[in-house]
Structure 1
Amino acid sequence: MDLRLFKLYKIPILLALSCVAFYFSFAYGLERADFFKLIGLYGALCFLSFKLVSMLKTDLRLLIGLAVIFRLAFILALPNLSQDYFRFIWDGRLIASGWNPYQYIPEELIGFENFKIPQATELIVGMGSLSAGHFSNYPPLNQLIFAVAGYFSSSSIMGSVIIFRIFIILADIGTLIFGRRLLRSIGLPEHRIFWYILNPFIIIEMTGNLHFESVMDFLLVLSVYLLHKGKWFWSAVTLGMSVSVKLLPLMFLPLFFRYFISDKERLNFKNLIAYYLIVLSTIILSFAPFYSYEVFSNFMASVGLWFGKFEFNASIYYIVRWIGFQVKGFNIIETAGKILPIFTVLIILGLTFFRKYKNTKQLLTNMLFAVTAYLLLSTTVHPWYLAIPLLLSLFTEMRYVIIWSVVVMLSYYAYCNTEYNESMWLVALEYILVVGFLGRELFKKVEN
């Protein structure tokens, strides 16, 4: 390497090498129960990565190279913060063997006399009793990715993990390409995309722990980019595909109403109706190969569990739960899990009819507020749920989600004890910081 070049990039090179070392330590030398090591590594990675983005924001090629290198550090590592990948492999092998993953509960299916898939017992044990005792709740396009791994790696868990990683890394590259284009199109600095692409949260939770929010995010940003360019038909198709990876983008459909009718030159009410129909048709077509009334019932019951049974790293819900214990004397999650989503819907409707939609940036800002309301009112907020608001925040002036992506890892404290008890002090600290930064940014917006 040229000596002058080394001197010029000496500090970034040292920072990048440190990141690689920390990512390797995270991938191959960390157990989920070791909370203090996890937080130490993650904190160091956040500091170094954000420093790299700030220093190299005019050298996008170098940042792209680092994004790929950091992800490749995980290529031969099994996920160490999540066991969900066992269920992904299970569902994929079911499809590859001709079974419908929505039709059977794993711990029941394994007892069938004619049922045989490689490593079935290992996968059941790996996914845990909670997953093994319920129907699959992963939408069809996600299942297609599982099926590819099931077909090409029918007897190797590591082989399946590598295939999943390839899909996720390719999705991140797609987000990088179309995220940059969208930023440029709406007049924002292109380097902002690296607050997502080089964010340790995204690299660890998506590439490292195989959460497919990366694929959902890629299809979502592609959809918004196509809509911004006036290609609303293909925007609707890709939005439907995004929903078919994860259901979350469904909440954004009402927000397109004002966006369409506010630009009568390119978009109008007729096109809006067509847009909705195409999105819904795409979703329905993706479910068609699996469909039966029984399958629909199983899938909806599995999705409903997240609202009425599970609780993790919540904010407003935990306050409601505490009040419920004081008044009722028991956990009111079943009631709260039905009422809180109503407030989410009301907020989204408020954003739909009482906010401005003159341009794509305003649409993206309202989408960010919608998903933020959803998460603040949810009973369960796993760290990887922040992928979508983090991406949306890049196209706005709001930065509170970047703070959230740092402090959300405090939620892993729950796994350092055998009872999986959360620290309410750490949960409180997380949300005080997030809501504090959000309030500060909103106050500044009002002032300006």
Structure 2
Amino acid sequence: MSGTHRGRFTSWTLLFTGIVLLSGPLWAAFESTWPVLVGASFLGSAGLCLLWRRDAPSMREVLWGALILRVAYLPVGPGLTDDLFRYIWDGWLQWEGINPYRYVPSDPALTSFQDTTLYEELNSQSYYSVYPPLSQLVFALGGLFYDGSWTTSYYVLKVLIMAVEFGGVVLLARLTSARNVLLYAWNPLVLIETAGQGHTEALLVLLLLTAVWAVRQHCGACASLAIAGAGLVKIYPFALGPFLLRRFGWRAVWPGGLLVVGLSLPYAAPYALPHIKASVDLFAKLFEFNAGPYYATKHALWAWTGADWSKTIGPLFRRLFLISLPVLYGLDAWYKWSFRRACLLVIGALFVLSTTVHPWYLLPVIALGVVGPRPSWHWLWLGTCSIGTYLFYVDGPYWVWIWMGWGGAAVIASVRQYTVGVHRHVLEDYRAESAAE
């Protein structure tokens, strides 16, 4: 829709939203202005919802805006999170001929590496690396530019991750409407966590969307490679493999299997899997953040018994997720879900039953959630509220964002489920999406 045909209100909304989102890098740069970042994120998200309702921007405008916004967020430093320091560390070790899974950074064997600013910036010096092989290959590209200062490697990695993720935005434009693409491509959380902080979840976006596209194109081998690649970035996408098995049979297994073996061989060692498992278990037992259902269960049991059940609830929730998988596979076969919806339900169940849901974890469900005929407003709401949890690190309000985020998401999801059950046209949309496969 051209500017001359847009209503004045819509044009001003587009301008206002763009300016608010472009201001994000300034507010993210200083801890003192993080509360302004949260407020700007809510204003920007509200603007996106208004634009979505009016179906205002064209696809061309959405894509150009997405690129401009990502470039604007690239200069943001590692203030909000420090994960990229570990990315650079793992990449540096590889160029020094050391398997990144072999030692924890604080190990005496790495003494010569510890007298550096990079080591001092690491946030988990006593933990083994938990990042799978494809992530490690990306880190190696960043480590190639490490020269004693982390700055060059930091921005090389961010540019690389941003470029891959923007490829996901372009692919998203082939999967859904311009107004749905807008909800992801201009989303403040997405901008902060991709171009702003360079988290590896940004890589998942392209791979998961590629799998959705491949299933719609009836290309099982391509979908298999995409899901395997996603599992080699973050482990949990491997749980999506059985959905491909139902749709394509064993021809959707061997391509991904070969990719897993090929990329894992350079890192294969007897200690690799035990070390990864040891750190994953420690993270699950000791870390908790922005996990609404977990917190609600923990506080309810504490009020009932007067005891701290946190060490019990975490492992229990993990078992519940594993038990839910065959149930979801069966429901997928029974109800003939679309592949996108099946993936969204599995990843959503993982987050609901997690003890830690950092804001950047939500990128895949936001991307998958806007592909469908009806955006997943509950994930979009939770994503926006999760930006507020960053205030935890500056002694700001924390719990209000968790209860508002997860509580609001539960209400929105319930209303959505009621709508699906009542309105025939919504059900027809979902059936059409499944039939497109």
TM-score, normalised via structure 2 length = 0.87
- 1:200 matched to which residue of 2? 188
Among 413, 417, 421, the residue aligned to 1:438: 413
Q: Any conservation in 1 of the 2:21–2:188 contact (CA below 8 Å)? A: no
Q: How many Å apart are 1:199 and its aligned residue?
A: 0.7
Q: Does 1:256 align with 2:244?
A: yes
Q: How many Å apart are 1:241 and its aligned residue?
A: 0.9
Mark the CA change 1:135 to 1:235 in structure 2 (over 3 Å): closer, same or farther. Answer: same
- 1:412 matched to which residue of 2? 390
Q: Any conservation in 2 of the 1:76–1:158 contact (CA below 8 Å)? A: no
- 2:272 matched to which residue of 1? 295
Q: How many Å apart are 1:244 and its aligned residue?
A: 0.7
- 2:427 matched to which residue of 1? none
Percent same amino acid at aligned positions? 22
Partner SS, residue 293 of structure 1: coil
Structure-to-structure mapping, 1:369-380, within 5 angstroms: 369-380=345-356
Mark the CA change 1:286 to 1:65 in structure 2 (over 3 Å): closer, same or farther. Answer: same
Q: Any conservation in 2 of the 1:344–1:377 contact (CA below 8 Å)? A: yes
String of CA shifts for 1:359-409, please: whole Å, max 9, x gaps: 6x6221122122222111111111111111111111222321111111122
CA distance, structure 1, for counterparts of residue 7 and residue 306 of structure 2: 66
Q: Does 1:387 align with 2:372?
A: no
Cα RMSD after superposing both structures: 2.8
Q: Any conservation in 2 of the 1:23–1:70 contact (CA below 8 Å)? A: no
Q: How many Å apart are 1:433 and its aligned residue?
A: 0.3
Q: How many Å apart are 1:19 and its aligned residue?
A: 3.2
- 1:223 matched to which residue of 2? 211
Structure-to-structure mapping, 1:48-63, within 5 angstroms: 48-51=47-50, 57-63=56-62
Q: How many Å apart are 1:347 and its aligned residue?
A: 2.6
Letter in 1 for 2:184: Y
Structure-to-structure mapping, 1:19-98, within 5 angstroms: 19=20, 21-28=22-29, 30-31=30-31, 34-51=33-50, 57-98=56-97
String of CA shifts for 1:73-117, please: whole Å, max 9, x gaps: 1223312210111111111111122111111111225753xx348
CA distance, structure 1, for counterparts of residue 250 and residue 4 of structure 2: 60
- 2:316 matched to which residue of 1? 339
Q: How many Å apart are 1:443 and its aligned residue?
A: 1.2
Q: Any conservation in 1 of the 2:193–2:199 contact (CA below 8 Å)? A: yes
- 1:125 matched to which residue of 2? 120
Equivalenced residues, count: 418
Letter in 2 for 1:105: V
Q: Any conservation in 1 of the 2:223–2:244 contact (CA below 8 Å)? A: no
String of CA shifts for 1:196-230, please: whole Å, max 9, x gaps: 11111101111101111111110111122112212
Greater displacement, 52-61 / 197-206: 52-61
Greater displacement, 278-287 / 67-76: 278-287
Q: Any conservation in 1 of the 2:168–2:206 contact (CA below 8 Å)? A: yes
Partner SS, residue 335 of structure 1: helix
Q: How many Å apart are 1:328 and its aligned residue?
A: 5.8
String of CA shifts for 1:304-327, please: whole Å, max 9, x gaps: 223222111112211332244356
- 2:339 matched to which residue of 1? 363
- 2:434 matched to which residue of 1? none
Q: How many Å apart are 1:38 and its aligned residue?
A: 2.9
Partner SS, residue 103 of structure 2: coil
- 1:143 matched to which residue of 2? 136
Q: Any conservation in 2 of the 1:79–1:210 contact (CA below 8 Å)? A: no
Mark the CA change 1:390 to 1:219 in structure 2 (over 3 Å): closer, same or farther. Answer: same
Partner SS, residue 254 of structure 1: helix
CA distance, structure 1, for counterparts of residue 200 and residue 62 of structure 2: 23
